[in-house]
Structure 1
């Protein structure tokens, strides 16, 4: 697909978002410190995947930041706050859920699309206590990023095309999907109990225990810990970093231990940023990731951001294999409508120790995320 056509597709998605009613999720308050707020986002995208032989064009939901809706209930109790959060994805066809042989269902919702059913108790002195379906302590630990292009480009490089298979040099589809060999080992969402400490000079410490309550016949158990640091006022710089470890046990599968870390720094006067991440699974593979970003204010619409990134992984699907990816992305914010229009290109390469040769593949994503 040509860049011109991709830009046209992005313009269509952008027009649809802007043409939608510009309603922001309202907040309703009572006279005792309680509130109700609903929110959501819509993130349609045009995906064009080239496996070196054929090109596949699809309308999808951006897996990197899928369409969703939710609400929050808050009630203050003195200096403490009790909060309930519900959030679900719409179940639209995802960019990582299509392939050469399957277009997937346009809409297919089931309970695994539920993201949060989460009760939280925030205390001023002792931190936050959480219970229910929600983020584990290590969720987001690989994603430190100040580039402004995270909606379509980040360490989860498989999100734009994870379901597609690599095609061999003979023209046949292999059994290796993009998602098999590009992982960030980032923590996810489970039914869990979680604790987050109060902010200690920019540092927070988290720990959780969770199990997969949304899937049937599943006894997965995960324990994890994480530490985060953030400071946006280091003179001309803003900095954030995270480090976490997770242990997972499940009947019939080998136990795993993941260690992941990331960091990002931004020079605020120039808008230049750098992000790095690395991760390792003790029984599988490891990777390194780097991203260079630049944000400027060229128009009155909002900030314009660009990035280029590179991912290098090994031993993900088999011992001795190698997977690399590089990408470029541009994101234009339209502040008055809470819209981010984007256009991105990503290239994938894979090789293993067998005699099979795999074609390089690529994907173009063009779309817009509208938050309400």
Structure 2
């Protein structure tokens, strides 16, 4: 008899497995339908011996000391600040848009206060910012919106930014200084030996059993357990009874290049002409020493593994129906990006899992979603 059956061996499931096993002394079975642990953060050495991320680049950053120190129990960290360039008007310019971006793009020599005036002079008044287009146009105007955001967003989502929730482009700031780091979080680092090795250490507790290549539907009636933690798609759990929650997926094209590095920084975005959205050169991320490098091209698509919940009001309404169903379950916890239909960064999923663990240990009522006791929320 297992105390917990955990479906999904990504961040949400693995953190809860580790905490419940080591702190709660619970017996855990964690399963995954893929052939590996670590979820979308899975990395491995390709045939040329280069460490690559199978599901696209995963760059760790957080403002949470608790999350950083918790994961630090299972890996040494390598400091890494991610930088992104955008291919715009035949040039590679810093993203997010900052002082250097504007000066380079327009051949100017503005300072911080002058670039603030530059943005203000181009910004359009928007009554009630509702869409992704509104966010950008109200901050920096239509020309920069067209150059940097519209094409990229249309490729990424197969929707115009005017059809998407404001949260999509609100994730990308605009800066008036020369800070060209993609993230500004307090802690920015990569697991020194890769994500997979970090997960292996996390799941190495004697109370944890791991089963891979296993669909939970095949075993759920045969394995005795007290509580279920589900980190897969919430609509799948309920057999899509209200219909499918829409996601965007990605297709990845990997290449090994016979040179030390392929491009001047970790990631280059292509907002406009190409079919792919970005190219990532893995050796910047991993710090690996190797005479060759490996890159990945990302092509957004409608079908495939679910990566990005599509942030539109009708999808939020559909999710609420599933959330209501989940609230009627007992001894069942829905945790993580797919189970709560929300785009979380890795550190946010870890924080959510740690919060859920604390609530379980406090003996609070048995049904949670998104780390909250939904029977009382």
TM-score (ref. length: structure 1): 0.25
TM-score (ref. length: structure 2): 0.25
Q: Which structure carries more strand by proportion?
A: 1
Q: Which structure carries more helix by proportion?
A: 2
Structure with more contact order per residue of length (Cα contacts < 8 Å, sep ≥ 6): 2
